Structures are given as C-alpha cells and as structure tokens.
Amino acid sequence: DQLISARAVRKAYGRTEALRGVSLDISAGEKLAITGPSGSGKSTLLLSLAGILRPEAGEISYDGRRLDDLSEAERTRLRRREFGVVLQFGQLVPELTAVENVALPLMLERHARASADRIARGWLERLDAGALADVVPGELSGGEAQRVALARALVTSPRVIFADEPTGALDTVAGEQVLVALYDAAKETGAAIVMVTHDNRVAARADREVRMLDGTIA
Ligand code: ADP
Ligand code: ADP
C-alpha cells in the first residue's frame, strides 16, 4: 500500500522541462534512492514529492490525498508534521545554537520550550552530536552541521525523510557517519527515506534505486 504516489508529473522552469511525465510509487518505510546525472531532474522530483514545488501537470498523492487538493494550511501542516527535509548544505539558522535549530520544528508546532529542548537534545545524542548542542553552526564542521540538520529533520518523527544529497558536501568518512545515522533513525521510527544521491554506495544501500535521465525515469 502506497504512501506516496506520483502520476505523470511535469514541471518546467521557463523553457527547461525538468520533469517530463514522472510516475512513481513509494511505500511506507521504503528507502528509495534517486540517482542520475546532474540536471536530470532529481532535485525537482524530490521537492515536488515533498510538496515544496508545485508541478504544472500530473498528480502527487500522499496517504491517498492529492497534494493539490489540500489547502495551503493543510500542506504546511503536512510538511511540518509528516515530512522531514534535509538539503545538501544543511541550511541551519546561523544565529541559533544546534539544539535551538533542532527544536525549531517543535517550537513551530507550539511545543513548550522545555519539552522541545529535551526532545531536541535526545535526537542530537542519537546522532552522536550531543556535545554540539550549544554550538552555533558557524563553528561546526560540515559533517557535524549535517548531523544537526538530520536531527532537525527527524525531531518530529516524520513518516518520510526527503534528503537531497545529504552527504554531497562531506568527505567519505563523515558522509558514511551521516548515512548510518539516517538509516538507523529511520529504522527506529519506520520512516520512509527518499534520497537524491550520486554516490553508488549510498544507492546500493537503499531498498530501490530510481534512475532519472532527462526529466524521466530511465
Ligand atoms: P538534478 O537535481 O538532477 O541536478 P534539477 O532538478 O536540479 O536536476 O534540474 C533539472 C533541470 O532544471 C536542469 O536543467 C536545471 O538547470 C533546471 N533547473 C532547476 N532548478 C531551476 C530553477 N530554479 N530555475 C531554472 N531552471 C532550473
Ligand atoms: P542539484 O543538482 O543538487 O539540484 P543544482 O546546482 O542543479 O544542484 O541546483 C542548485 C540550485 O540552483 C537549486 O535550487 C536549483 O533549483 C537552482 N538551479 C539549478 N539550475 C538552475 C538554472 N538553470 N537557473 C536557475 N536556478 C537553477
């Protein structure tokens, strides 16, 4: 039974057709790798599945509901509660400490500060980043920042984690640590992972690999 279902999805930026009719089903708890050459539409597909970009044609459903039938408030709620997103460069808020960054999605959901802080510290510890709680992003290494970003994506226990090259900016060892942390956390919570990657070893660990070529699934 399908958690996410995309049918004939099309998305263009001006004259560039980034997605030319993509259909894809993702089951609950599945680990999916999206691979393919640069410019083939991987990021556009990921952002469309996550409800961040709106395709011009086709449909994307989550849990049986079409994303384009949801109100803006419902889409926001879905993105905050059910989805966790990690991008290549982490995108932490520079003014906030690591633990404040991780607690942010909970604060947006009106959790009390003390409980948000406790839950956020718990996720940092699980990602081997407990000691970084009070450090600001500017003082973190790339791998550390990426683990903090991962903790922030996991803190709401999302049903789907969308990750765009989460190890792209890291060396092999740091990338490996981030991935192991991501897979362990997903195993624990039963979350699905939808990940864009150009690393074959990363793709090999997924349950399934979907290869993009020129805006379609090859
Ligand atoms: P990938 O992730 O596989 O590198 P993208 O989804 O980023 O592919 O891009 C697919 C195509 O769409 C590329 O030709 C890219 O240059 C173009 N593209 C992506 N984002 C934009 C944008 N914001 N504006 C214009 N063109 C874009
Ligand atoms: P990736 O391959 O990881 O998507 P890109 O370098 O293709 O990385 O894209 C990085 C960012 O630049 C994305 O936000 C994408 O939407 C945007 N982008 C990519 N191609 C173009 C383009 N031709 N014109 C404008 N923005 C673009």
**Ligand 2 centre distance from Cα of residue 197 (Å):** 15
165 lines ligand 2 (CB under 6 A): yes
Q: Which pLDDT value is given to residue 152?
A: 94
Q: Which pLDDT value is given to residue 138?
A: 95
Whole-angstrom Cα distance, residue 49 to residue 207?
18
**Ligand 1 centre distance from Cα of residue 15 (Å):** 11
Q: Which pLDDT value is given to residue 176?
A: 81
43 lines ligand 2 (CB under 6 A): yes
Q: Which pLDDT value is given to residue 9?
A: 98
Q: Which pLDDT value is given to residue 153?
A: 92
**Ligand 1 centre distance from Cα of residue 44 (Å):** 7
18 lines ligand 1 (CB under 6 A): yes
Q: Which pLDDT value is given to residue 175?
A: 82
34 lines ligand 1 (CB under 6 A): no
**Ligand 2 centre distance from Cα of residue 125 (Å):** 33
List, for residues 59-102, the tens digit of each pLDDT value.
999 999 999 889 989 988 888 889 999 887 768 999 999 999 99
pTM exceeds 0.90 for this model? no
Mean pLDDT in each 10-residue stretch from start to end of the chain (218 residues)? 94 96 97 95 96 93 92 88 85 95 93 96 92 96 90 93 86 81 86 91 90 96
Whole-angstrom Cα distance, residue 43 to residue 116?
30
Q: Which pLDDT value is given to residue 158?
A: 94
- Write the burial class of residue 46 (CB in 10 Å: 0-12 exposed, 13-18 middle, 19+ buried): buried
